[in-house]
Amino acid sequence: MDDWKPAEVEAPKGKLPISTARAVARQHDLRQVILIGFDGENTHIVTYGKTKADCAAAARAQDFWAGKIRVLPFNKDPE
């Protein structure tokens, strides 16, 4: 996987800043953090990793979960 690159995901700036994910990681002594939020219209995802390797791993997890989340309707009641 030497040629792996994170997916380009456009998100409104400032909805979930990396600094928030970093603060969660530091407060809870975590190496990687993925935060997912929904504002009623859009899903927002941010990742943080303590090292470059952790950043890459969190970004790969984000790519995976972003695909799963896009098919999950947050604005509907579960059936």
Residue (of 38, 42, 40, 34) closest to 65 by Cα position: 34
Tell me the pLDDT tens digit for each residue of 2-42: 454 544 444 445 588 999 999 999 999 999 999 988 887 77
**What is the pTM (predicted TM-score) of this model?**
0.67
Q: For residue 34, what pLDDT is reported?
A: 92
33/18 Cα distance (integer angstroms): 10
Retrieve residue 78's tokens: 């579960």
Q: At 57, which helix (H) or strand (E)?
A: helix 52-70
37/69 Cα distance (integer angstroms): 10
Answer whether residue 71 shows pLDDT above 60. Answer: no
What phi and psi values does residue 58 have, to the nearest 5 degrees? -65, -40
Q: Provide the residue count of the chain.
A: 79
